[in-house]
Structure 1
């Protein structure tokens, strides 16, 4: 049945082409195949169980217009709702088909019968960044009416700046955010914290937390994860302990999260576990979402405190298989953990992986901070072993520092 409908649609195309251009049927066949009509418009017309989403997803190339598909759908007398358009746009974004998702957004904006939400405008800013670049998204945001410059649209633009590591632009927009009369959530502050961690400015993370608290905004779990990761990266153990104590009494801390917090103190106190406690930590780990991937850095440090090398191996393997780009912080956390446990072979492997990483340059200065941090807490033997390993790998931070000052 399907093959017959394909044939009939194909024959109709040939007839139309012959009538318009006067070509013979064999020439029509060749033209349809060579022009790509058979693999695009022709195939779209031949589909059964037709709906708007299917038509849009059958567009083969970004240059083809989702707007035309929607207009044709409406001209055929079919209903169309904003909820349906939002869902299609969401699925297109998941498939990284940003141009077609943006065209749906433009359709929604251009039709006054649709009442757009703050999230619709925020999504449009992110899509414009993907398709046309940050400058276009910035111009769009600045041109928005005052009533659509909301916490969501501000945060969307901040997310674009932070993702591109445009520190000056992000900081300038963040000042506008703090000076505005709008109400923001922890999500906005998390964007700044994530950016600072990604560029290695870990010392600024706690400053953002201070500003969040001055505004009486409640931190969320992601805020705490970012904050703890910044402390772990700088080996600030006292502040980690203080954060864990605060988290224990934070609103919304459920039983599972409290169990996770309690076990986290093991890293700080270097205590010992029985098997049941270890299993509890593993169970708590399962509740962490992929969006909070940064938590894995902290989990690596925690398992180092537990002396649990197998779990460290598993988490590191999992991190390396994700699409998330590795950063200096990721490498420092795993390197410090193996070093803490005395596994120098693995430390050497991490250094080699870091040097070969296409997305992250080897950070000798960060290794120097690890040396200093371990020396400060009296781990002299580990400092000496790590220093010798860095010399073997031609990555001695002391030599590099002295040569730069000569």
Structure 2
């Protein structure tokens, strides 16, 4: 792929009119809001003006900001500039970014052709995993499985991320029975599972309501956790959720009618995703997932409220926890369950988190909801 492949359809020579002399390079490029404007033109103009040489760290930093704001076409032009100018030596991370950007800008076929054209030295565990990520995101199971087999047949050493991609794919296409097989292969290769591996594995078992296996995995995870704060937080929340959420009483084939038919077991997977990000201390991710779920017309269950309420409480976000209580109380589909809240408080107390339990109790008092009122 040459830089012309990216910019030829989009070049707008008038783009230079939006820049101002004296601006730094990053500011000039970030001001290019319209995809048809060319980041390549800005880079060329910068060089022609006799400015200091553009360094690779500069370009990577600009690309990162562009990708963060979902301006993938401009980010790919930055990547193309690095390729066509020989003074830059591409790292494994640069190749990974290129594969991801090509997928987003031109589609998976282009990313696939680019990967196959790479020299052998550039076909690393990072680039293999990047292409696998593209297949998984598009739910191309057959292509992903073919690439996964190539990965297993290679002499490269892969980490948990690669296996997690396959597990994520199988979860997304409803082939949850294949997730434990991937975990087994991971262990056979002596690859250490990470917190995402465990979350996917537990979610697959919970989605089929195999609660005995969930508890066994949690026990295994507790042996691996050591002093890892994220893992311990996740374990505590997962145990509370399994204990309080009555997963064993849920119907495995229960289906709620909405615009889309979504099984209750699929929603359990979202609960564990919330618990995962709570374990990682990422409130923003919890907000995003919870808000997305609430925007659907899916009927919420008490389990859904339990997972997000417990997660906010664990992270000390009492304001957000209070808002969840309000949403639960005013829900038209799921009755507020004070008994479940009592069990949450007891569970937090049992694991030594008395302050967290007290925070929930204070919220319930403020809302004037307690066992005596129900």
TM-score relative to the length of structure 1:
0.59
What 5-or-longer segments of structure 2 have no aligned partner? 1-11, 246-267, 277-284, 307-327, 336-374
Deviation at 1:229, TM superposition (A): 0.9
Tell me which residue corresponds to 2:17: 42
- Give, in whole Å, the separation in 1 of the partners of 2:178 and 2:295: 21
Corresponding residue number in structure 1 for 2:316: none
Partner of 1:358: none
Shift in Å, 1:87 = 0.6
Q: Is residue 161 of structure 1 aligned with residue 119 of structure 2? A: no
Kindly state the Cα deviation for residue 260 of structure 1 after the two structures are TM-superposed: 4.3
Contact 1:339 1:347 in 2 (8 A): no
Following superposition, the deviation at residue 265 of structure 1 comes to 3.2
For residue 335 of structure 1, report the CA deviation from its aligned partner: 4.0
Higher relative contact order (CA 8 A, sep 6+): 2
Structure 2 CA distance for partners of 1:253 and 1:157, relative to 1, 3 Å:
farther
Say if 2:75 and 2:101, in contact at 8 Å, map to a contact too: yes
Listed as ranges, the matches of 1:306-345 within 5 Å are: 319-322=289-292, 335=301, 337=303
The residue correspondences of 1:195-234 to structure 2 (distance < 5 A) are 195-234=169-208
Q: Tell me the equivalent position of 2:65.
A: 91
1:109 aligns with 83
Q: Deviations over 1:310-359 (max 9, x none)?
A: xxxxx998634249998xxx969x5483799xx9x969569xxxxxxxxx
**TM-align CA RMSD:** 3.6
Query: In structure 2, what is the equivalent of residue 172 of structure 1?
Result: 146
Q: Max radius of gyration: which structure?
A: 1
Flag the 1:102–1:58 CA change in 2: closer, same or farther, 3 A: same
Q: Under a length normalisation based on structure 2, what TM-score does the superposition of the two structures give? A: 0.64
C-alpha contact (below 8 Å) 1:225/1:295 kept by paired residues: no
Quote the residue 1:64 is aligned against. Answer: 37
Q: CA deviation at 1:42?
A: 3.0
CA contact (8 A) 1:159 1:191 kept: yes
Which residue pairs with 2:344 in the alignment? none
Does the 8 Å contact 1:89/1:101 carry over to 2? Answer: yes
Q: CA contact under 8 A between 1:301 and 1:337: conserved in structure 2?
A: no
Q: Give distance in 2, aligned partners of 1:339 and 1:54.
A: 43
Over 3 Å counting, the alpha-carbon distance change for 1:325 and 1:269 in structure 2 is closer
**Distance in 1 of aligned mates of 2:29 and 2:145:** 39
- 1:324–1:86 Cα change, 3 Å: farther
In structure 1, the residue matched to 2:211 is 237
CA contact (8 A) 1:82 1:114 kept: yes
Corresponding residue to 1:54 among 27, 31, 37: 27
Query: How far apart are residue 71 of structure 1 and its match?
Result: 1.2
- Residue 70 of structure 2: SS of its match in structure 1? coil
Number of residue pairs the alignment of both structures matches: 273
1:111, CA displacement in angstroms? 1.4
More helix by share: 1
Distance 1:101 1:212 in 2: 34
Unaligned runs of 5+ in 1: 1-35, 272-293, 303-314, 351-406
